[in-house]
Amino acid sequence: MIQIKLKHFFILVALLVAFACGVYVKSIFTPSIAVVNLEQVLEQSPKLNAIRKDNEAKLNELTQWIDEVNKEIDAETDAVKHQKLANQYRKLTSEKEKVIKQEYNNRLKEVDAEITALIDRVAKQHGCNFVFANTSMVTGGKDITNDVIKELK
């Protein structure tokens, strides 16, 4: 009789240990989800705002330069020289625009990588292993937007 009770006791202990292990494993592998408002984060990014402002200044400079070039082209009375000058400046304008766009895109990629890394770091601090934009989540998830903005500044 005692042997049967001892046997049941060990079975009960084994079941409790298995249950505890299952709960532990589930807690490790259960995904924790965070959400972030990317629009707010981007609006508050000092670096992104500086890049945008710099790009706008460069585009304004280019516009002023184009105005000056157009005056120079319009002042040319010889039709052949006028066309040659217009073609030359059109090509140069296109090259300048391309350089400005490429530089802007490269800088945006850098900021994107930095903000993505920041969001990942903040999410991990909150114990979250998945982050979605809040626009793609109808409900659920821990909103980490304000914490990301604090770290951003």
pLDDT top residue among 30 and 136: 136
Which residue from 36, 40, 31, 44 is spatially nearest to 137, judged by alpha carbons? 36
Entry pTM: 0.70
pLDDT, position 143: 86
Class of domain 31-152: alpha beta
* Phi, psi for 33 (deg, rounded to 5): -110, 135
Q: How confident is the model at residue 114 (pLDDT cuts 50, 70, 90)?
A: very high
Least confident among 76-80, 90-94, 101-105: 76-80
pLDDT at 29 over 60: no
pLDDT mean over 132-149: 84
Q: How confident is the model at residue 13 (pLDDT cuts 50, 70, 90)?
A: low
pLDDT, position 2: 56
pLDDT at 123 over 80: yes
Tell me the pLDDT tens digit for each residue of 55-69.
999 999 999 999 999
Is the torsion defined by CA of 88, 93, 98, 100 positive or negative?
positive
Tell me the pLDDT tens digit for each residue of 88-97.
999 999 999 9
- Domains of the chain by residue range: 1-30, 31-152
> What burial letters (b/e) apply to 60-82, b meaning 16+ CB within 10 Å?
eeeeeebeebeeebeeeeeeeee
